[in-house]
A and B are shown apart, each in its own frame.
Chain A
Amino acid sequence: MNRDTVRADEELVELLEDFFAREVTPDVVEAAERRQALPASLWERACAVQIPWIGIREEDGGVGGTIADVVALMHHAASRATPLPLLEHHLAATLVSRAGLGSVDGLLAVAGLSPREDAPLVVGGSLEGRIADVAGAADAAAVAVLTHDGAGQDVVAVVRRASYDVEPATRIDGTPAPTVVLSGGALTVNRIEDRAAVQRYAELLRCSALAGLIGALDDLTSGYVAQRHQFGKPVGAFQAVQIHTVTLAQAASVSALVVDRAAHAVALGAGDFEVAAASVVVAQHAALAVAAAHQAHGAIGMTREYPLQQLTRRVHVLRQLWGSSAETAELVGRTALAAPSLAELVARHPEEGPIPR
Chain B
Amino acid sequence: MRLQATELTGAERDLQSDVRSWLDERLPPGSYLPALGMGAPADPDFSRDLGARGWLGMSLPVEYGGHGRTAVDRLIVVEELLARGAPVGYHWVADRQSGPSIAANGTDFQKREILPGIASGELSFSIGMSEPDSGSDLASVRTRAERVADGWVVNGAKIWTTGAHHSTHILSLFRTSEDRHTGLTQFIVPADTPGLTISPIEFIDGTRDFCELAFVDMFISDEWRLGEVGSGWGQNTGELALERGGVDRWMSAMSLLETWATREAVQASASVAADLGSIVARCWAFRGMSLAVARMVDDGQSPVTEAALIKEMATRFEQECVEIVARHFGRTPRPDAEDPAERLLATAVQVAPSWTIRGGTNEILRSVITKGLRTRGGEGR
Contact = CB atoms under 8 A, between A and B. Distances in A.
Contacts of A349: 7-8, 13
B289 A256 contact: no
A255 B35 CA distance: 30
Contacts of A12: none
A215 B7 CA distance: 23
Interface in B288-344: 288-289, 292, 295, 306, 309, 312-313
A55 interface: no
A329 B5 contact: no
Given A331-B277, A342-B258, A254 B378 contact: no
B119 to A, nearest CB: 24
Interface residues of B, number: 57
A222 B5 contact: no
Nearest to A247: B313
A268 B312 CA distance: 32
A242 B5 contact: no
A264 B4 CA distance: 12
B23 to A, nearest CB: 11
Contact of A253 (B2, B13, B83): B2
Interface in B245-280: 254, 257-258, 261, 266-267, 270-278, 280
A334 B273 contact: yes
Contact of A328 (B4, B6, B277, B370): B277
B299 to A, nearest CB: 11
Interface string A225-248: 010000000001001001101100
Contacts of B84: 343
Interface in A254-284: 254, 256-258, 260-261, 264, 273-274, 276-281, 284
B109 interface: no
Contacts of A4: 4-7
A5 to B, nearest CB: 4
Interface stretch (B45-53, B121-129, B361-369): B361-369
Given A219-B381, A222-B378, A346-B287, A333 B5 contact: no
Nearest to B286: A254
A343 B254 contact: yes
A90 to B, nearest CB: 22
Majority-rule SS of A interface residues:
helix
Contacts of B295: 3
A278 B299 CA distance: 26
B258 A343 contact: yes
A265 to B, nearest CB: 9
Given A242-B366, A256-B2, A258-B288, A332 B283 contact: no
B14 to A, nearest CB: 11
A45 to B, nearest CB: 25
A347 B284 CA distance: 7
A187 interface: no
B277 A336 contact: yes
A346 B280 contact: yes
Contact of B281 (A219, A280, A344): A280
Given A277-B281, A346-B283, A246 B309 contact: yes
Given A222-B373, A239-B367, A350 B261 contact: no
A252 B1 CA distance: 8
12 contacts: A3-B295, A5-B7, A222-B378, A242-B366, A246-B370, A253-B1, A256-B3, A326-B274, A329-B277, A330-B271, A332-B276, A343-B84
7 closest A-B pairs (Cβ-Cβ)?
A333-B277, A343-B83, A332-B277, A333-B273, A260-B5, A280-B281, A329-B277
